[in-house]
Amino acid sequence: MITFLLALVLLFVGYFTYGKFVERVFQPKADRPTPAYTQADGVDYLPMGKNKNALIQLISIAGVGPIFGPIMGALYGPVAFIWIVLGCIFAGAVHDYLTGMISIRNGGAHLPELAGRFLGKAMKHVVNAFSILLLLLVGTVFVASPADLLYDLVNGSVPVLIFVILIFIYFLLATILPINKIIGSIYPYIGALLLFSTVGIGIALVWHQAPIPELSFENTHPAGTAIFPLLFLTISCGALSGFHATQSPIISRTTQNESQGRRIFYGMMIAEGMIAMIWAAAAMSLFDGPITLNELINTIGTGGIVSEISTAMLGPIVGTLAILGVIILPITSGDTAFRSARMIIADYIKVPQKKMMNRIWIALPLFIMSIFLTTVDFTMLWQYFNWANQSTAVIALWIGAMFLYISRRNYWIAIFPAWFMSVTATTYIMNAPIGLNLSMQTSVIIGIVFTIFLTVLFFKAASNRRGNNHPLEDDVSDWKQSA
């Protein structure tokens, strides 16, 4: 219990200390007009309040990641707490803040546009394809998981296919309608439900003095799976997630003032870390007896464990509300995944999005591809998503480091997590069966060598850009036209 409470305190303190430090490094300008005003179109670019933007950001980045991931990560034992705390404060929140703020400084640009500007024009095309693939995987995965949970909730009285169709219809509407019509209207209430249920479970853990294990570096995974690199891909949304780099630019187009960035981007990642901590602790405490967590995962699945935790901690009525909140979470990340994909494609092919038909003809092919992906094995999709997700985080961190280096600011806050995740993501794909299936030792060596190679390329390119007075933030229109 002490470890659990200390971890929550550290996350809270991290927001007011390291978060403030990161903000000072970036140097937000409160008097600088944001894209919400300078590029207002009434669809994607429009100002919304600070609290509304913060809750939308939280719900967009949350999904089932900070719940399902930590439950699976709980198999490794209390070492998962360490990654959630350190990853969230020094990597994930930095990643989200830099992505959102650099986007604001660059006209609300999405990740491919930022990659093209700061890592070279060739990277724009690579990251564009990579981002669309990631968002398609997210959207597809977040159709299947809530549909299955809804099917279980109604005891199989309604076919899963009906829920899938309804979710896809909602996704389409949320993708093409102005952001304030659906997302801006309902997300704050969903955010309140998420916080209510999570805080309720956290209070219940403390009230009942749940047997949460104390800090230990021992690997308790029943299959003996090594902590590195899998833990750092299993727990992503609760610590560091590249998916967030595709979501932050959505809110960068609705942010009223740069000074709001720390609460919206850094703060909501810290909030997600707290959510992850609570669910990981609940999983460790409730299922560490005759029936182990691993046995339950194999029999009733992660969704079933969510139901068990919710009803055991909060009772049948409030617990059901918590389950509904968990069902809604992936839906509210799936819709923004498709919305983000639509915006990225529109930026890439330079099609204005003010007209409804322009949004529809870009969105429809995305949904057709997603429907096809629903026929693919879910487990395999999830494995590829894990790798693509953390690889996207690597790209976003290198972009952040480049921005800070060129602007002569403390780029080490992005370089250190970029190094770690470059080694991690490369090692995983080299070692995993879905990758090259090499030995772990060989995979780690390749991961280190590849990261050194990236570092050399980074400093060479960064020095050239700094020496050539590469434009940063004062002439957005010129760089967009030349991109």
Q: Is pLDDT above 90 for 268?
A: yes
Cα distance between residue 220 and residue 241, in whole Å: 24
Nearest to residue 238, comparing CAs of 397, 62, 74? 62
| DSSP-assigned letters across all residues of 160-190 | HHHHHHHHHHHHHHHHHS-TTTTHHHHHHHH
**Alpha-helix runs per DSSP H in 208-292:** 231-234, 243-252, 261, 268-286
Q: How confident is the model at residue 222 (pLDDT cuts 50, 70, 90)?
A: confident
Q: How confident is the model at residue 65 (pLDDT cuts 50, 70, 90)?
A: low
Q: Is pLDDT above 60 for 483?
A: no
pLDDT in tens, 157-175: 999 899 999 999 999 999 9
Q: Where are the domains of the chain?
A: 2-390
Q: Is pLDDT above 70 for 297?
A: no
Q: Is pLDDT above 60 for 265?
A: yes
Instruction: Show Cβ contacts of residue 98 under 8 Å, excluding neighbours closer than 6 positions.
Output: 22, 26, 396, 397, 399, 400, 403, 404, 414
Nearest to residue 93, comparing CAs of 157, 34, 12? 12
Over residues 228-254, the mean pLDDT reads 94
Q: How confident is the model at residue 478 (pLDDT cuts 50, 70, 90)?
A: very low
Q: Is pLDDT above 60 for 142?
A: yes
Residue 196's pLDDT is 81
Q: How confident is the model at residue 383 (pLDDT cuts 50, 70, 90)?
A: confident
Cα distance between residue 342 and residue 330, in whole Å: 18
Q: How confident is the model at residue 288 (pLDDT cuts 50, 70, 90)?
A: low
Residue type, 253: R
Q: How confident is the model at residue 227 (pLDDT cuts 50, 70, 90)?
A: very high
Q: How confident is the model at residue 181 (pLDDT cuts 50, 70, 90)?
A: very high
pLDDT in tens, 303-343: 677 778 888 888 877 777 777 777 777 788 889 999 999 99
Instruction: Show Cβ contacts of residue 332 under 8 Å, excluding neighbours closer than 6 positions.
Output: 59, 60, 62, 63, 187, 190
Encoding tokens for residue 187?
A: 């997300």
Encoding tokens for residue 246?
A: 């595709």
Q: How confident is the model at residue 480 (pLDDT cuts 50, 70, 90)?
A: very low
Instruction: Show Cβ contacts of residue 234 under 8 Å, excluding neighbours closer than 6 positions.
Output: 69, 72, 73, 386
Over residues 122-127, the mean pLDDT reads 92
Q: How confident is the model at residue 469 (pLDDT cuts 50, 70, 90)?
A: low
Q: How confident is the model at residue 39 (pLDDT cuts 50, 70, 90)?
A: very high
Residue 417's pLDDT is 98
Query: For the chain, what percent of residues have pLDDT higher than 70?
Result: 92
Over residues 60-87, the mean pLDDT reads 87
Query: For the chain, what percent of residues have pLDDT higher than 90?
Result: 61
Name the one residue in this structure whose structure tokens are 């998420």.
194
Average pLDDT, the chain: 89
pTM assigned to the model: 0.92
Instruction: Show Cβ contacts of residue 216 under 8 Å, excluding neighbours closer than 6 positions.
Output: 77, 78, 79
Nearest to residue 179, comparing CAs of 47, 292, 78, 7? 47
Distances (CA, A) of 108 to 29, 132, 159, 179: 16, 17, 41, 14
Over residues 246-252, the mean pLDDT reads 95
Q: How confident is the model at residue 412 (pLDDT cuts 50, 70, 90)?
A: very high
Name the one residue in this structure whose structure tokens are 């990161």.
22
Q: Is pLDDT above 90 for 69?
A: no
Residue 296's pLDDT is 65
Instruction: Show Cβ contacts of residue 390 under 8 Å, excluding neighbours closer than 6 positions.
Output: 232, 233, 236, 240, 241, 242, 421, 424, 425, 428
Cα distance between residue 174 and residue 378, in whole Å: 24
Nearest to residue 20, comparing CAs of 78, 88, 97? 97
Cα distance between residue 391 and residue 325, in whole Å: 29
Instruction: Show Cβ contacts of residue 355 under 8 Å, excluding neighbours closer than 6 positions.
Output: none
Task: Give me the count of residues in the chain.
Answer: 483
Q: What is the CATH number of domain 2-390?
A: 1.10.4160
pLDDT in tens, 423-439: 999 999 999 998 999 99
3-state secondary structure of 407: coil
DSSP 8-state secondary structure symbol assigned to residue 375: T
Over residues 143-154, the mean pLDDT reads 80
Cα distance between residue 318 and residue 195, in whole Å: 13
Sign of CA dihedral 263, 265, 269, 272: positive
Q: Is pLDDT above 70 for 119?
A: yes
Percent of the chain that is helix, strand, coil (3-state, to 5): 75, 0, 25
Residue 364's pLDDT is 95
